[in-house]
Amino acid sequence: MPIARLAAAVALAACTATAAAQQKEIKIGFIYDVSGPFAGGGSEPAQVGTKAAIDYVNEKGGVMGYKINAVFADAQSKVDVAINEMTRLIDQEKVDMLAGVYSSAQCVPMAQQADARKKFLWINVCVASSVMKDRKFQYVFRPTVHSDQYGAATCEYVQNYSQSKFGIPPKNMRIAIIHEDGPYGAGVAAANEIECKKQGMNIVLKEGYSASAPDLSSLVTKLKRARPDVILHTGYNPDITLFLRQAKEQGLKFKAMIGHGAGHSQIDKLRQTFGEDVNYFHSADPAAAQLLDPKTLKPGMAELIKELQSRYEKVKGPGEMPPHAAMGFNNTWILLQHVLPVAIKKYGGIDAEALRKAALEVDIPVGGTIQGYGVKFFGPGTPMAGQNERSFVVVMQYVNGRARIAWPKAVQTTDPVLPFPKGHTFAP
Amino acid sequence: MSEIFDIYLLEAVLNGLLLGGLLALLSLGLNLVFGVIDVVWICYAELIMCGMYAVYYLYVQYHWPLVLAMLAAIALVALLGWILHQFVIRPVLNAEPINQLLVTGGVLFFLQAAATLVFGIEFKNLGVTLPSVRLGEMSFSAARLVAFGAALGGVVGLWLFLSRSYLGTAIRAISQDRAIMPLMGVDPGRIFALTSALGGGLAGLASCLLVLQYDIHPSIGLSFGPITFLICVLGGLGNMLGGFIAAFIFAQFIAVGGFFFAVEWGYVIAFIFFIAMMFWRPRGILGK
């Protein structure tokens, strides 16, 4: 009898193993940077957020019986490595689709190649408008914001408070636009220039620089000569820290600093380096989920935010969760919960064509995601085909290390402190 | 005209001078090693990165006094220079130059990857800010002034060592004729190892000054490695005085060019100058 029991147990184990081996899975290749300068600029938190979403979905049984098998590749903050990794994921790992991507410099060529190869690419983080604009992509979708929206939001913000807070009429408001010179920085800066001019403000300097430049002292000197009231800055890291350090050493004064995501959204890191010097700084980005008033979101979103926060803190410890973690989580969640089920159920699989059709059917109202925005993609034949038309950015202000939403007024959670209070390192 | 030639132009020129001091300091060790051993350490900036991490951990994590942490970092990078020579360079000393380049290039990637694994991707910094030095409307980084002084001191000290000491004389002799000196009782292996340690020590000195001005991360070498190499080539590889002069020329192009035009143009003009010089004087400004 013991032998019979043993045989039965072995048979049962074999059956279980076979069933497990045969469990259906969807293989997704995610590309982020977990080494090189982009890692600390937000790419690594985005990967942490993405993993949290996948783990959570898998723990709840996957997507319609499919387990999500995520393959993560490190682009090492290099464009060529990103493209090689994408090729490897498609040809060797045989992934069903691609997702992730932090840097716009990587996004531009990757999106073109993926679309040309009819491979579905779901962009979680990179924001340059030029990634999508006039490209007529079929298989590339981006649920997050795009850089034109950054430029518009921050200029509207400054214009709105120009008279009431700064005591300066908008036409006399002196704006300096400085940016890293990749597609991301150049895209945001171009939008800044158009929008600030449209708002009737005075642009006194607009200048780009390489994110790996070893010296920015001449930029600081030019800013000293231009005497801006507000600096609109788009950069990664370590260029932001280099700029701020040299600005402080050279005695640059201004009344407000407004960053545009990436390094400016990593407030914990900036505070480690500059302490109180970065108090009252701003960053525009899709909302860091935990900052939104849960009452403005649809049912279930608050719980999802708590889930993300607890999973993020398990990995990174307590602190201000950067927007990139929410971007990684939120946009992966949308893919897993709103695109894949429709592709499988309605279009019979997860090939690029089925995924494309399913993505075009996504219709999430504003407030239906943890970052507040809704999702509806611009359709084929439009200039921004594949871009989410319901995304929006918020302007956050950091006070004593905590972020608050300062703009737009509809979701505002703080009355912004403008200009810098007297005694601030950079206050005139 | 007075709008252009104002106090801010003077600030840009003086900042260029200070940047020149920093670049000159960076180029010292690389030039010394090439001048004597005839091998380019492509991984030189990564040795500096190791020194920066050493200062950070000793000062921030283990609470050593800053000066002591810096002295230990200089000693550590000197040791790394010696190890690099003994275990990596020596086996390929007589190989083709391209093989030597590839080997030190391999060390570059190894050190970057190892730093990522060991220290992580987080940007680290000492949290030490030296006060600025004000001069009317102008303001300058004290850390850069110190680097400038260290570069001058380093060049003078190295010159005195090479010209006044027995070991320095032996180093110069080996660099002039590697074949004949063993016949006169000089052990080239020992001299090469010593030079490598000295080159490493200079990289350590540079790391102590960079750590006051920059965040530390595994890719920090990318910001300085290529420009340091170009400066050495512009001055004449192996020629320390040439490298010193080239650093200041290069820095002025970056600072003043970036002031008159866009910041990026400063670098473009500097590199155009470099290319033109390579046509005019392929062996560098003071190269023979």
Which DSSP state fits A228?
-
Average pLDDT over residues A229-238: 92
Residue B228 lies in a domain: no
Q: How far is CA A150 from CA A41, B2, B109, in A?
A: 17, 38, 36
Chain B hits for A44, Cβ within 8 Å: 121
Tell me how far apart the alpha carbons of residues A133 and B110 are, in angstroms, rounded to a whole number: 40
Element (H, E) at A20: helix A2-21
Through-space distance between the first and last CA atoms of chain A, rounded to whole angstroms: 90
- Is 90 exceeded by the pLDDT of residue A133? yes
Give me the percent of chain A exceeding a pLDDT of 90: 76
| pLDDT (0 to 100) of residue A17 | 46
Q: How many CB pairs under 8 A join A and B?
A: 113
Residue B118 lies in a domain: yes
Give me the percent of chain B exceeding a pLDDT of 90: 48
CB B245 within 8 A of CB B28: no
| pLDDT (0 to 100) of residue A16 | 47
| The token pair that represents B259 in the structure block | 């002031």
Instruction: Name the residue with tokens 């509809």.
Output: A410
Of A39, A213, A246, the CB nearest to B121: A39
**pLDDT tens digits, residue range B196-238?**
999 999 999 999 989 988 889 898 988 889 999 999 999 988 8
Chain B hits for A210, Cβ within 8 Å: 264, 267
CB contact under 8 A, A40 and B255: no
Residue B92 lies in a domain: yes
Of A34, A208, A251, the CB nearest to B262: A208
B140: closest chain A residue by CA: A250
CB contact under 8 A, B254 and A215: yes
Of B15, B143, B262, the CB nearest to A221: B15
> Bigger pLDDT: A84 or A6?
A84
- Indicate the pLDDT class of residue A8, thresholds 50, 70 and 90: low
Q: Which residue ranges form the domains of chain A, and what is each CATH number?
A: 25-145+299-361 (3.40.50.2300), 148-285+393-411 (3.40.50.2300)
- Indicate the pLDDT class of residue A1, thresholds 50, 70 and 90: very low
CB contact under 8 A, A248 and B219: no
CB B139 within 8 A of CB B14: no
- Indicate the pLDDT class of residue A411, thresholds 50, 70 and 90: confident
Tell me how far apart the alpha carbons of residues B96 and B240 are, in angstroms, rounded to a whole number: 24
Q: Which of B116, B139, B214, B263 to mutate to test the interface with A (most CBs of A within 10 A)?
A: B263
Mean pLDDT of chain B: 89
- Indicate the pLDDT class of residue A266, thresholds 50, 70 and 90: confident
**pLDDT tens digits, residue range A87-129?**
999 999 999 999 999 999 999 999 999 999 999 999 999 999 9
Q: A386 — phi, psi (to 5°)?
A: 95, -10
CB contact under 8 A, A237 and B215: yes
Q: Which of B219, B227, B267, B271 to mutate to test the interface with A (most CBs of A within 10 A)?
A: B219
Tell me how far apart the alpha carbons of residues A393 and A323 are, in angstroms, rounded to a whole number: 11
CB contact under 8 A, A214 and B224: yes
- Is 60 exceeded by the pLDDT of residue A353? yes
Tell me how far apart the alpha carbons of residues B82 and B191 are, in angstroms, rounded to a whole number: 11
Q: Is A44 exposed, middle or buried (0-12, 13-18, 19+ CB in 10 A)?
A: buried
Give the highest mean pLDDT range of A63-77, A234-248, A266-280, B153-167.
A63-77
Chain B hits for A224, Cβ within 8 Å: 8, 11
**pLDDT tens digits, residue range B71-120?**
999 999 999 999 999 999 999 988 888 898 899 999 999 999 999 889 98
Chain B hits for A189, Cβ within 8 Å: none
Q: Which residues make Cβ contacts (< 8 Å) with residue B98, sequence separation at least 6? A: none
| pLDDT (0 to 100) of residue A214 | 87
Chain B hits for A208, Cβ within 8 Å: 262-264
DSSP H stretches of helix in A285-350: 301-316, 323-334, 340-347
Q: Which residues make Cβ contacts (< 8 Å) with residue A134, sequence separation at least 6? A: A383
| pLDDT (0 to 100) of residue A20 | 45
Average pLDDT over residues A350-358: 96
* Lowest model confidence (mean pLDDT) among A8-12, A331-335, A367-371, A393-397: A8-12
CB A223 within 8 A of CB A248: no
CB contact under 8 A, B141 and A208: no
CB A252 within 8 A of CB A282: no
Which DSSP state fits A171?
G
Is A151's Cβ below 8 Å from some Cβ in B? no
Average pLDDT over residues A42-53: 95
Q: How far is CA A172 from CA A158, A164, A166, A404, B202, in A?
A: 12, 14, 11, 28, 51
Å from A383 to nearest chain B CA? 31
> Bigger pLDDT: B172 or B288?
B172
Average pLDDT over residues B130-143: 86
- Is 50 exceeded by the pLDDT of residue A48? yes
What number is the ipTM of this complex? 0.86
| The token pair that represents A56 in the structure block | 């959570």
Tell me how far apart the alpha carbons of residues A285 and A392 are, in angstroms, rounded to a whole number: 8
CB contact under 8 A, B123 and A35: no
Residue B243 lies in a domain: no
Q: For residues A273-306, b (16+ Cβ closer than 10 Å) or e, as one string? A: bbeebbbbbbbbbbbbbbbbeeeebbeebbebbe
Tell me how far apart the alpha carbons of residues A162 and A172 are, in angstroms, rounded to a whole number: 9
Å from A193 to nearest chain B CA? 16
The count of structural domains within chain B is 1
Cis peptide before A416 (omega within 30 of 0): no
**pLDDT tens digits, residue range B26-59?**
898 998 898 888 888 999 999 999 999 999 999 9
| pLDDT (0 to 100) of residue B4 | 65
Give me the percent of chain A exceeding a pLDDT of 70: 95
Chain A hits for B231, Cβ within 8 Å: none
Q: What is the dihedral of CA A148, A149, A155, A161, to 10 degrees?
A: 180
Q: Which residues make Cβ contacts (< 8 Å) with residue A389, sequence separation at least 6? A: A376, A377, A378
Segments forming the whole domain that contains residue B157: 7-220
* Full-model pTM: 0.83
A378 by DSSP, 3-state: which? Answer: coil
Chain A hits for B8, Cβ within 8 Å: 221-222, 224-225
- Is 90 exceeded by the pLDDT of residue A370? yes
Is A77's Cβ below 8 Å from some Cβ in B? yes
B117: closest chain A residue by CA: A35
- Is 90 exceeded by the pLDDT of residue B187? no
Which DSSP state fits B90?
G
**pLDDT tens digits, residue range A295-335?**
888 999 999 999 999 999 999 888 888 889 999 999 999 99
Chain B hits for A221, Cβ within 8 Å: 8, 11-12, 15, 259
| The token pair that represents A386 in the structure block | 């594949």
